[in-house]
Structures are given as structure tokens and as C-alpha cells.
Chains A and B, each alone.
Chain A
Amino acid sequence: MTLSDENAANIVAGTTQDHVSGNDSPKTYLDSNELIINMGPQHPATHGVLRVILKLDGERVLGTECVIGYLHRGVEKIAENRTYAMFNPYVDRMDYVAAVSNGLGYCEAVEKLLNVEAPARAKYIRVILAELNRIASHQLWLGTHALDIGAMTPLFYTFRDREEILKIFEKYCGARLTTHAFRIGGCLYETYAGFEKEVKNFVKFVTPKIDEYEALLTGNRIWMERTKNVGVISGPDCIALGVTGPVLRASGVQWDVRKAQPYAAYSEFEFEIPVGTTGDTYDRYLVRMSEMRQSLRIIEQAVNGLPEGPIMAKVPKVIKPPVGEIYHSIESPKGELGYFIVSDGTTQPYRLRVRPPSFVNLQALDVMVRGLLVADVVAVIGTIDIVLGEVDR
């Protein structure tokens, strides 16, 4: 059980020695206090099929190793065997809680490769849906994260409100989760009658709800004790580890692709990039909460200024981009989501690479949890906000 599992310990030690605990001497593996625990892939708090091997001293984490790939579907290989338009729905299956963002990134990347630009109205619709999706993703994150830390109730509140967003998606494109809302060159669907009104109503509806979540958690002593100074990561560390999104911003780096290299219509809206100071779990929580509010701001502006006009650019029926390659990235709810597409002039991408934010952010787990307790591992996995569909692709 504890010690008798020397075999297991050695197996893990063998795979992890250099990676998990480079600074530990090998003989510590035989120390009587060490315990190797396998968290996942079937574990309620690993948000899917993530497997984390924990090396513990009592309850203190000495090192971790993530074992991923349980959800690998070979998205990049599939892309090479599909036409550009056919591959579009596949990207929704990566970060399935933010499918709209995935689609947005892909469509914009291909448009860039084709050297076309979506019409203004399409861009606005894209922004509205992508920001709604950001709120939905953050709500889902908040609910599950709070559940991991032991607060059951916020989950149900966030899911109740996320439902309203999904209803808008469903009315717009017929799907709730994997939406396939956009097409290369713009949008396929015009907004439905009453879209603006519903979105505005949603903004009105959800603003007090966000305050409600905060009322439950922000000032809660136990919540603060569980999240403050837990999983601290500094700004330079984040940059070195390639961590992006709310995690980076919570560490004090004010960087958002929407501001730094604006895409869609983001340059036309006023919004702020919330940043944290300490880079702990609590800051990441606060950053995401204010991000939801900023998203509402963007949505409001976009709905009020929704221009008239076509929603589809002139794109040939058969999409055949010229030979060349492009890298395009957007700010997905998880971080920088990039698409690197190499075209050989045919209808199928020669090579399509997805730069998944969850995958890169997950690397920071080891840095963040060392020296913390098992309970914190759960909190930190939650706070990185990974979606295994995107990590494994």
C-alpha cells in the first residue's frame, strides 16, 4: 500500500526521474514517506481524461507527471484529408466548451490564407457569439472549479445562466455545443428575428448573476483560504512556459490577443484587460470574473452597433488557397489559440497545426503545484481551465 508498492514507485520513478523531479536525488524514492498516487484518468476532479501521477510526501506534492492523449483523435491528420470547408466542424470538437472561438480562429486563418476579409456585419456577429461563448466557457469553468474546491452550489447557478447562452446559439445556428456557427468568408446564417433583443436581454439578465456568483465566493473566507497563494506563478514564468490567457493575465502581464493583434472587429470596441497581481488561484478567479463583465461590455457595444450589409464575403465555391502558409491566432477563453496552415494550392490543407492553449497551459501544472498539498492540485487543475478535448486533440 504505502511502501510495499516499490515496483510501482520504481516504474513511475523511471519515467519521471528527470522530468518530474529533476532536483531530487534518486534515493529519495525509497524514502518511507513517499506515496505515488495516480489521479485519473477516471477522477472527478481532472476534468476529463487527464491522468496525473503525483509523487507525495505525506500530502505534500513533490512532483507531478501528466499523462495525456486519452482523447487524442488526430485532428491534425484529419485536416490533411478534408477540404477546408469540411474540416470546419472538426475544430468545434477540440475545445468543446468554446466551440465558437475555435471556429472563429479557423475561419479567420483560412480567410487570411485566401486573402479575403469577412464583411463588417459578419465580423460583428462573430464577436457577439465569440464573447457569449467566452462567458459560457468561464461560467462552466467557475462552476466546476468551485465544485472541485468543495462549493457545490455555484455549479448549478452557472449552468442555469449558461443555458441562456446556449439557447441563443441554438436559435442562431441550431446547435448548442459544437455550433459550427461560422463559415470561411463570413457567416452562413443571418441573425434571427429578435436576436439583438435577446442578446441585450441576456446582458441585462446575466450582469446581476455574475454579482451573485461573486457574492457566494469572492468574500468567502474558506474560498479565499483555499485559493489565495495557491498555485502561484510569476509573469516571467508564465511567459517562459508559454502560458497565455487568464492565467498569464492573473500573473500581471497585460496581454490579450484581442488588444495586441486585434482580429475580427475587436479594434472597434472599448474594453479593458483585467490583470491580477500575485498570479495565484484567487487572482485567476478574479480575472475571469471581470473578463466576463468585459465580455458583456463588448457584446453590448457590438449589438448596439451591429452594421447592416452582407454577411458573406466573395469566396469561391471550392476553396483553394494559393500555395503558402499562415499563422493566425485568436484569444480563446483559455488563451492564445493559433492555427498554422500550410497550403499546397489544393482544396485540402497540406498541413494544419493547432496551437492549443490548454495543452501549453497544462505544462505549468507541475511548476504550480510543487510543494502544495493534494487538495491544491485539484484547485490548480481547475484554475488552469483545461479542456481535454483541446489538450489531446
Chain B
Amino acid sequence: MARTMAVNYGSQTMAEEIKPPVLLSSSAQKTGGETSAAKAASGKAATAKNPEGPVPIPWAAPLVEKYRSQYGSGLEAQTYLGQNYVTVDSSLIPNFLRQLRDDEQFDYCVDITAVHYPKREKQFEVIWILYSFARNERLRVKVHIADGASLPSSVSIWSSTNWLEREVFDMFGIQFVGHPNMTRILLPEGWKGHPLRKDYGILQQDQEWVQINLGIESGQ
């Protein structure tokens, strides 16, 4: 742990312009240009138009109506493949979640996670996956926030979110304000960077670590 601390990756990976996640394929090229079927397919996918599939449609439900009348444009409800989700403005966050728990019986926070879209203006999409025992219904709440922005913690609403928020912080670097112990959970304390960001360079890290700690060229 202490050894990795010595390595400073932050400067180039954080500040650099977003690169596509081509870590695997680049390694494949290095080792002799061996292109797998997957690689070829991946390349094609970029040019070919997306396959047709279902698209999210607006979701109309009493719950949605109720909160839309309260929050107005800050709330957008959609359903995709029968799964409902609500995209809300980040300013609504603690209150809306609390209302969902208290008034709508979403008493079980299944998961919190995030997705990184480096090309968007608000890079991160944070998602709460909720479940209501009484309704036997799942609901996802989404929030878009910019890099460096923080969100209020929901530990006081669902205690299950304690470690989940820590994991989101660990993997994406999103701070949750009011969390009792906002530290890394899966990665060691001295780790640099947040691995699930799309701009996180695994290979660079590996090469650097090997050079600094083992004093040889990385075989990767």
C-alpha cells in the first residue's frame, strides 16, 4: 500500500482530455496486431449505426404526477423495458429521496452506482436503485452532476448506503457531503485516481508502478 502511494498518477490521467477506453485493444496491437473478433466488432460498431431497439418512453404514473406538480421541470420520468426511472435535478436530492422513502414506501435502497460520460457537460450520472416491499416495485433515481461536484449523502435515509457511497467515491471520486466516513473502501488509502472513470489509464499505472517499484520495464 505504502509503495503505491509513492507513485503519482494524478497529473496526466486527471487533467488529460478524455480518451476512448482502448486499453485492451492497444495491448493487443502491441503484442503483434492480433485482432480478435471482438475487436473487429468493436471497431465496426463505431461506424455502423446502432441496432434498433426499444427506446425509453415517458412514464406516467400517479407518483410521477404528484412529484412533477411539486418539482416541475426538475423531474423527468421514463420507462425502459418495463423498468422505471426518474431523472431529477441534483438540487432535489436529499428531499426527494426522503420523500420516496417516507411517502412512497421505497424503504430499501438496493444500490447506488454511477456512470461516467466524459463527453457530457455533466460527466457523472449517479443512480439510486430503490425497491419498495409494499409495492413490490423497483425505481431508479438518476442525477447528473459535473466532475468535482458533490452530492448530499443519503446515509441518514437508508443506512445501507454507507458503504455504497464510499464505493462510488472510491471508484468515481464523487464526494457525498455528510457521509460519516468518506474514505476509500475497496482500494488502499494511498491509491491515486478513481478507476471506474473512463479516463483512468490502467496500463500507464501498471508501467509506472513496475518501473518505480521493480526497476524494470513493464511487460504489458
A interface residues with partner B (beta carbon < 8 Å): 15, 18-19, 22, 68-69, 72, 74, 76-77, 80-83, 86, 112-113, 115, 239-243, 253, 255, 260-261, 318, 320-327, 329, 336, 338, 340, 342, 345-348, 350-351, 353, 355, 359-360, 362-363, 392-393
Q: In the complex the two chains form, what is the Cα distance from A206 to B52 in whole Å? A: 49
Stretch at the interface among B7-15, B68-76, B103-111: B103-111
Q: Is the CB of B110 within 8 A of A239?
A: no
Sample of 14 A–B contacts (CB below 8 Å)? A19-B181, A77-B196, A80-B21, A81-B23, A83-B42, A113-B81, A115-B81, A242-B164, A253-B133, A255-B133, A261-B136, A340-B113, A345-B50, A355-B111
Query: Among the listed A15, A82, A83, which residue makes an inter-chain contact with B41, where contact means beta carbons less than 8 Å apart?
Result: A83
Query: Among the listed B51, B53, B115, B171, which residue makes an inter-chain contact with A350, where contact means beta carbons less than 8 Å apart?
Result: B115
Q: In the complex the two chains form, what is the Cα distance from A39 to B107 in whole Å? A: 33
Query: Among the listed A68, A242, A253, A318, which residue makes an inter-chain contact with B110, where contact means beta carbons less than 8 Å apart?
Result: A242
Stretch at the interface among B88-96, B143-151, B182-190, B208-216: B182-190
Q: Is the CB of A347 within 8 A of B45?
A: yes
Q: Is the CB of B42 within 8 A of A348?
A: yes
Q: Is the CB of B113 within 8 A of A360?
A: no
Q: Is the CB of A338 within 8 A of B111?
A: yes
Q: In the complex the two chains form, what is the Cα distance from A348 to B107 in whole Å? A: 33
Q: Is the CB of B81 within 8 A of A242?
A: no
A68-B186, A318-B41 are known; give 13 further A-B pairs, CB within 8 A.
Answer: A68-B185, A69-B185, A69-B187, A80-B196, A115-B81, A242-B158, A242-B160, A338-B129, A345-B45, A350-B115, A359-B163, A363-B160, A363-B163
Q: Which B residue sits closest to A351, measured CB to CB?
A: B115
**A contact residues around B185 at 8 Å (CB):** 68-69
Q: In the complex the two chains form, what is the Cα distance from A70 to B146 in whole Å? A: 31
Let me know if B162 is at the binding interface, CB within 8 A.
Answer: yes
Q: In the complex the two chains form, what is the Cα distance from A69 to B184 in whole Å? A: 10
**A contact residues around B136 at 8 Å (CB):** 260-261
Q: In the complex the two chains form, what is the Cα distance from A355 to B128 in whole Å? A: 12
Q: Is the CB of A347 within 8 A of B202?
A: no
4 closest Cβ contacts across the A-B interface? A322-B53, A242-B160, A69-B186, A19-B181
Q: Is the CB of A241 within 8 A of B51?
A: no
User: How many B residues are at the interface, by size bracket?
Assistant: 35 or more
Separation in Å of the B63 CB from the closest CB of chain A?
Answer: 18
Separation in Å of the A128 CB from the closest CB of chain B?
Answer: 26
Query: Among the listed A323, A346, A351, which residue makes an inter-chain contact with B53, where contact means beta carbons less than 8 Å apart?
Result: A323
Query: Among the listed B81, B129, B133, B180, which residue makes an inter-chain contact with A324, where contact means beta carbons less than 8 Å apart?
Result: B81
Q: Is the CB of B196 within 8 A of A76?
A: yes
**B contact residues around A362 at 8 Å (CB):** 163
Let me know if B56 is at the binding interface, CB within 8 A.
Answer: yes
Let me know if B2 is at the binding interface, CB within 8 A.
Answer: no
Separation in Å of the B123 CB from the closest CB of chain A?
Answer: 13
Q: Which B residue sits closest to A77, measured CB to CB?
A: B195
What does the 1/0 interface line of B97-124 toward A look like (CB < 8 Å)? 0000000000111110101100000000
